[in-house]
Amino acid sequence: MSGATIDRRGLLGAGVAATIGIAGQAMAQGAVLAPGVSKADLAAALKAMRAVVGDAWVAGDAESLRPWSKSYTPDPTGRHAPVGAVAPDNVEQVQAILKIANQYRQPLWPVSTGKNMGYGSTTTAAPGQIILDLKRMNRILSVDTELCTALVEPGVTYQQMRDYLDEHNIPLWIDVPTVGPIVGPVGNTLDRGVGYTPYGEHFMVQCGMEVVMANGDILKTGMGSTKNPSAWQAFKWGYGPYLDGIFTQSNFGVVTKMGLWLMPAPPVYKPLVVRHKKMEDVARITDAMRPLRIAGIVPNVVLMMGAAYQLAMFHRRGEVTTKPAQVSDEEIAQFAAQHDLGMWNTYIALYGTPAQVAESERIIRGAFAAIDGDVMTQEQMKDNPWFHHHATLMRGGLSLEEVGLARWKGAGGGLAWFAPVAPAKGSETQGQIDLAKQILARHGFDYTAAFAVGMRELHHIIALLYDKSDPAEEKRADDCYRELVTGFGDRGWCSYRTGVHAMDLVAAQYGDTNRAVNAAIKQALDPNHILAPGKSGIA
C-alpha cells in the first residue's frame, strides 16, 4: 500500500465534522417551487402522499432529502435539487401519487434505481419537483429460462439480477453499464444507456413495458395487453404504432415493469484488447472496426478507450502532470506506456464455440495487423487492471472501479458526460478530438474521452472531470459543457443523451418541429404537466 493512500485517509478522517451540511445546501430555506405551486400546495401534496406510502417513505425537509440531492453534475445556481421525495411500494401507490400530483399540480420526477451518475442522479431538470423514487419496487417478476427473458420492476439492480441468476443456477448473462451494482435495467434502458456484451444496446434488447399514464391508466405495450400475453417478452412490436420508444428519455408516463432479453452464457468467452500508439490512429481504428461490427464478426459494443480516460480511472492527475493547464498528449503517452497502455485501447470480446471464436479471432487479427495494432489476450495482459476491468464488463460483470474518474481532478467529485454521436467513419474522429480539446483547454479541463462503436455509429464519450468542491470550477465546468454542446452542434455532432443541467440546450439542437411534436404528445398525455417537466427539454 502506498504512502499516498495513508495520507489521504488521514485527510478524510479529519473531515468528519465537515460532512454534516454538505448535501443539504441545495435544499436551502427558500427552495424554488414549480410554477403555479404554492408552499401550501407542496405541503398538502406531501401530506397526502404520506397517507399513501407511510411517513417513512416521504422526504420533505433538507435533512431527510440529503440522499436525493447529491449529484456529480454542475449546478452552480442550485436549481436542480428536488423539494421532496416519495417512494411507493407498488403500482396502486404510484397511481394514488399521480392523482395527488394532478390535484396540486405538483410535478414528480420518476427514477428507477436513481443512479444516473454524471447525468444528474436524483436531481431534476426544472426546479420544484418531487422525486418519485421507484427503488423499493424491486421485484423480479419472471425469468423464462427457455426464451432467455426476464420481467422486472424499476427498482431491480443488476446486482440483484446477477444474484438471482446465480442463486438459482441459471446460466444466463446480464449486460451492464460500467456501474452495474447500484444501477438497474429499467432506469438504464429508459435513458437509452449501453453496456459492452453483444446485448449492449439496451433498448434493442428491451421487450414490453407496463406504464402508468399521468391520468392513472395502465398501458401495457407490445403483446402485453392482449388476452393471453404469453409473448409479451418475446415479441417487441405488438400491433399498430410502436409505443415503447416514446417512454424512453421522455416524461410521458411512469414505467412500472419492463421486459428484457438475456444472453445465454457462451461456452467460450475471449476478451481482447487492440493497442495503438498514436492519437491519430483513431481514424484507422474506426474504419477497421466498422465492417467487423456491421458483419457481426465483432459482436459486442466496442470501447475505444483513450489513454487519458483510462489513466483517470486509477490514477490522480497529480501523478501525470504538475501543470494546471490541459494535460498534454506527450505527458499522457509517457505515463500510459509505463503502464502497458496504448494511446488507444480498443476492447473486443468473442463469444461462442471454440471454432467460432478461433475463426473470428483470425479475421480480427488480420484486420488489425494491417493497421499496426497489437492484439493482446488475457494471458499476455496478465494482471493489467484496465484489461481486467474491461474483460469484466464485456462478460456483464459487476464493477464500480470506473467511479475513480470522479477523483482525477481534486477530491471534489465533479463529472458530467458529454456524448455526441457521429457515423462510424474515421473521417469523423480527428475533427471532434481537436474541437473537444480546444474547448476543454479554454476552460482549463483535460480531454479524458473514449469512443463507443455501436453498429454504424460512434458515440464520443467525453468525461468532463472537475473539482466540484470549488464553486468557481463548478461554474467553469457548466460553461464549458454548454460550449461543448453548441460547438459540436454547429458541426452536426449532437448528443444522444445529456444531464439535467443541459436538457433544454440539447433539445434545441433537434429543431422546432421535433420539439413541437413532443410538446403535443405531452399535452395530450399529461395535460397538467406533472411528470418531469424539463426532461429532454419537454416542458
Residue 115 Cβ vs another protein, minimum distance, rounded to whole Å: 7
Q: Which three cell numbers stand for residue 42?
A: 407542496
Catalytic residue, candidates 104, 119, 447, 466: 119
Angstrom CA distances, 104 to 27, 46, 533, stand at 21, 10, 15
Phi, psi values for residue 208, rounded to 5°? 90, 135
Expressed in percent and rounded to 5, the helix, strand and coil fractions of the chain are 40, 20, 40
Are residues 166 and 265 in contact, defined by beta-carbon separation less than 8 angstroms?
A: no
- Comparison of 188 and 432: residue with beta carbon closer to ligand FAD: 188
Using CA atoms in the order 105, 106, 107, 112, what is the torsion angle rounded to 10 degrees? -130
**Chain residues that interact with ligand HEC, rule: CB under 6 A:** 9, 12-13, 400, 403, 411
- Comparison of 163 and 490: residue with beta carbon closer to another protein: 163
Catalytic residue, candidates 284, 395, 476, 497: 497
Residue 538 Cβ vs another protein, minimum distance, rounded to whole Å: 26
Are residues 24 and 68 in contact, defined by beta-carbon separation less than 8 angstroms?
A: no
Interaction of residue 54 with another protein, rule CB under 8 A: no
Angle between helices 329-338 and 307-314 (to 10 degrees): 60
| Count of positions on this chain that bind ligand FAD (CB under 6 A) | 32
Interaction of residue 116 with ligand FAD, rule CB under 6 A: yes
Interaction of residue 160 with ligand FAD, rule CB under 6 A: no
269 in active site: no
Residues near 298 by beta carbon (within 8 Å), at least 6 away in sequence: 289, 292, 348, 360, 364
Interaction of residue 344 with another protein, rule CB under 8 A: no
Q: Which of ligand FAD, ligand HEC, another protein, none is residue 511 near (CB under 5 to 8 Å by kind)?
A: none
72 in active site: no
- Comparison of 13 and 30: residue with beta carbon closer to ligand HEC: 13
Sites for another protein among residues 78-97 (CB under 8 A): 85, 87, 89
Q: Which stretch of DSSP H or E encloses residue 490?
A: helix 471-490
Sites for ligand FAD among residues 265-324 (CB under 6 A): none
Residue 387 Cβ vs ligand HEC, minimum distance, rounded to whole Å: 21
What's the rounded Cα separation, in Å, for the pair 473 and 412? 10
Interaction of residue 510 with another protein, rule CB under 8 A: no
Sites for another protein among residues 111-130 (CB under 8 A): 113-115, 117, 121-122
Out of 52, 207, 255, 320, name the contact with ligand FAD by CB under 6 A.
Answer: 255
Q: Which of ligand HEC, another protein, ligand FAD, none is residue 476 near (CB under 5 to 8 Å by kind)?
A: none
**How long a stretch of residues is the chain?**
539
Q: Which three cell numbers stand for residue 507?
A: 433539445
Q: Which residues pair with 268 in a beta bridge?
A: 352
Q: Which of ligand FAD, another protein, ligand HEC, none is residue 254 near (CB under 5 to 8 Å by kind)?
A: ligand FAD
Q: Which of ligand HEC, another protein, ligand FAD, none is residue 220 near (CB under 5 to 8 Å by kind)?
A: none
Residue 532 Cβ vs another protein, minimum distance, rounded to whole Å: 18
Q: How far is CA 339 from the centre of its chain?
A: 28
What's the rounded Cα separation, in Å, for the pair 462 and 417? 6
What's the rounded Cα separation, in Å, for the pair 312 and 469? 18
Interaction of residue 138 with another protein, rule CB under 8 A: yes
Three-state DSSP class for 111? strand
Residue 181 Cβ vs ligand HEC, minimum distance, rounded to whole Å: 7
Q: Which of ligand HEC, ligand FAD, another protein, none is residue 412 near (CB under 5 to 8 Å by kind)?
A: another protein
Q: Which of ligand HEC, ligand FAD, another protein, none is residue 273 near (CB under 5 to 8 Å by kind)?
A: none
Sites for another protein among residues 366-395 (CB under 8 A): 378-379, 385, 391, 395
Q: Which three cell numbers stand for residue 23?
A: 448535501
Residue 508 Cβ vs ligand HEC, minimum distance, rounded to whole Å: 33
The binding track of 156-195 with respect to another protein, each residue x by CB under 8 A or -, is: ---xx--xx-xx-------------xx-------------
Out of 98, 101, 107, 135, name the contact with another protein by CB under 8 A.
Answer: 135
- Comparison of 135 and 529: residue with beta carbon closer to another protein: 135
Residues near 428 by beta carbon (within 8 Å), at least 6 away in sequence: 286, 422, 458, 493
Mapping DSSP onto H, E and C, the string for 138-185 reads CCEEEEECCCCEEEECCCCCHHHHHHHHHHCCCCEECCCCCCHHHCCH
Q: Which three cell numbers stand for residue 178?
A: 460500467
Q: How many CB atoms lie within 10 A of CB 182?
A: 15
Strands 254-261 and 149-152: antiparallel
Q: Which of ligand HEC, another protein, ligand FAD, none is residue 535 near (CB under 5 to 8 Å by kind)?
A: ligand FAD
What's the rounded Cα separation, in Å, for the pair 478 and 475? 5
Are residues 202 and 496 in contact, defined by beta-carbon separation less than 8 angstroms?
A: no
8 in active site: no
Residues annotated as part of the active site: 119, 496-497
Interface with ligand FAD (CB under 6 A): 110-119, 134, 154, 177-179, 183-184, 186-188, 190-191, 193-194, 254-255, 402-403, 405, 415, 532, 535
